[in-house]
Structure 1
Amino acid sequence: MSRLALIGGTGLENLSLQDYDQETVQTPYGEVQVDLGRIGESKKTIVFMSRHGKTHATPPHLVNYRANIWALNELGVTQILATAAVGSLSTRYKLGDLVLVEQFLDFTKSRPQTFYEGGDSGVLHVDMTEPYCHSVQDDIRRAADKLGVALKDGATYVCTEGPRFETPAEIKAYQMLGGDLVGMTSVPEVVLAKELGMCYATIAMVTNEAAGIADHPLTHAEVLSSMKMMGKTVAMLVEETFQMIRLEQDCTCRLANEEAGKF
């Protein structure tokens, strides 16, 4: 049975997960805990995963991305909706905006990015022409239209290693390369999902302006404050998306690992 997953955490306290049970999944990369339940009026089973842990104790560079995505696959998840706090690099995206991510630039340094490491696992050069699933994005747009929620798209997400914020010089370089938003979590999450043939889309929440753009020092407290203000809107959008999302994968995401033939 196909299942849907939500990867998020801080800032999504307004979500109403009903009739839920906790489940522990053993993976080759470690143990993962998730909640299974329903959101809002939807009768579909949702797998909720807190990326940083329920107490936000895991920094972005230490998130066990492979274990997380493997666990979702083990639970039968075919489509993933992720939320992410981001900083803006562009005047097109302002504080409080909700944005669909289209592309990414990867500036992470130490994160395992594949399930295919040679040997018995084989090798896969996964196609990332379309990193974020257009079909799931269409469902998010339909939900936003129904709710009257403003939603921007077309953004390029710059993923940095963290946990520190970026320097103004780095931000300037990312802008020159075409980056619109900056965050610390989308990669390798989106890549690993693609490797397992899963649909993945991100709703980015603009919570701050990046270094050299903002006229004040950056703090995590500012991010949390912004997310709290946006939380109710994001929760409504996520709930509505899961109500109308189509469980069938009518896209090419499920074929992404066909070349390796392992999963």
Structure 2
Amino acid sequence: MNAVKIGIIGGSGLYKMEAFTDVEELHLNTPFGSPSDAILVGTLEGMRVAFLARHGRSHKFLPSELPYRANIYALKSLGVEYIISASAVGSLKEEVKPLDLVVPDQFIDRTYQRTATFFGDGVVAHIGFGHPFCSHLSKILGQAIASLNLPDIDYHLSGTYVCMEGPAFSTKAESNLYRSWGGTIIGMTNLTEAKLAREAEIAYTTLALVTDYDCWHPDHDHVTVEMVIQNLHKNAVNAQKVIQETVRRLKDHLPSSEAHSALKYAILTPLNHIPQERLQQLELFLKKYL
């Protein structure tokens, strides 16, 4: 199979890409276990693109249970260099309304139960993560959104994504705390993906789809699954349009990204001191530096 340069990770409500043609279903294993589901490789806007349903097509994984490392490793093994990640989120700001689209540019990490690195166990690496999203890829995503003129949908091309552990939604006190920190949206998955994608030297951006005002809003004082699901279905339609337009634009211009050389100065352990077993596990990421 030819290398697949673009990967799409579909979040809650987005379990497939309707516009895919010539679809292959790949069941991959990795040194970090199996991905969330089979990876669907199809043609979109003339490009071969990989799609992975983050929670599985039957939505069977909690955010804390997701095989994040296997997901990113599997996409990397196919040749993916760019990931567009769609994610359902709550809003922490009045002006960011349900059904709005957000392309965030920062994260705050509130997770505590998950492994967010490929390294450790005999090999030490510290990636730069001051700018956690690929600005070039995010810009193209933003241009795609703007060009579509989606009816009754506003969009925001910056913002801070607060990544919480879940699976319960926030308390009102927590929600107000995150607002005081300058949070724009809140979700449960993307930060872990973004860290691992950076370690895998994959450019990463997020299309955040707002389903609700978290629980801080006086007129919307609690989040219900019913409310979220209703908006997920509406969001999924818009997400597919945006992703398809983004891929169309990427077809003619795959941007350079700092992420593509993220490990160049990040590995502190001399490569000849890395245990052989770990070297084999990480060869996919390290081979160009060996």
Give TM-score scaled by structure 2 length. 0.85
d(CA) in 2 for partners of 1:10, 1:212: 22
* CA deviation after TM superposition for structure 1 residue 17, in Å: 1.8
Q: Give the match for residue 129 of structure 2.
A: 128
User: What residue number does 2:209 align with?
Assistant: 205
1:177-188 aligned at under 5 Å gives the runs 177-188=181-192
Q: 1:142 is paired with a residue of what secondary structure? A: helix
**Residues 1-263 of structure 1 aligned to structure 2 (within 5 Å):** 1-12=3-14, 15-32=18-35, 33-39=38-44, 42-119=45-122, 122-149=123-150, 150-213=154-217, 215-245=220-250, 248-259=254-265, 260=267, 262-263=286-287
Greater CA drift, 140-149 or 101-110: 140-149
Gaps of 5+ in 1: none
Judge conservation of contact 1:9–1:53 (CA < 8 Å) in 2: no
For the 8 Å contact 1:4–1:78, the answer to whether it is kept is yes
2:49 & 2:4 partners in 1: Cα distance? 10
Change (3 A) 1:160 1:9: closer
Tell whether the 8 Å contact from 1:3 to 1:247 is kept in structure 2 after alignment: no
Instruction: Note the C-alpha offset of 1:2.
Output: 4.9
More deviation in 15-24 or 156-165?
15-24
Bigger RCO of structures 1 and 2 (CA < 8 A, at least 6 apart): 1
Aligned residues: 259
Return closer, same or farther for 1:202/1:30 CA change in 2, 3 Å cut-off.
Answer: same
Instruction: Report Cα offsets for 1:83-124 as digits up to 9, x if no partner.
Output: 1111011123111100001000000011001011141xx211
CA drift at 1:147: 1.7
Q: What letter matches 2:12 in structure 1?
A: T
Given the superposition, is the C-alpha separation of residues 247 and 70 from structure 1 closer, same or farther in structure 2, using an over 3 Å criterion? farther
Higher share in strand: 1
Larger radius of gyration: 2
Equivalent-residue separation in structure 1 for 2:157 and 2:254 (angstroms): 23
How far is 1:254 from its partner?
0.6
Partners of 1:162 and 1:135 in 2: how far apart? 30
- 2:246 partner SS: helix
- For the Cα contact (< 8 Å) 2:34–2:67, is it kept in 1? no
Could you say if the C-alpha distance between residues 9 and 183 of structure 1 is closer, same or farther in structure 2, counting changes exceeding 3 Å? closer
**Normalized against structure 1, the TM-score is what?**
0.93
Q: Which stretches in structure 2 are left out of the alignment for 5+ residues?
A: 272-285
Aligned equivalents of 1:146, 1:130: Cα separation in 2: 25
Question: In the alignment, is the contact (CA less than 8 A) between 1:9 and 1:54 conserved in 2?
Answer: no
In 2, are the aligned partners of 1:133 and 1:253 still within 8 Å (CA)? yes
**Distance in 2 separating the partners of 1:123 and 1:247:** 34
Paired-residue identity, % = 31
Counterpart Cα distance in 2 of 1:44 and 1:14: 14
When structure 1 is superposed on structure 2, of 175-184 and 13-22 the one drifting more is: 13-22
CA apart distance, 1:3 = 1.4
Paired amino acid for 1:87: G
Name 2:282's counterpart in structure 1: none
Name the SS of the counterpart of 1:233 in structure 2: helix
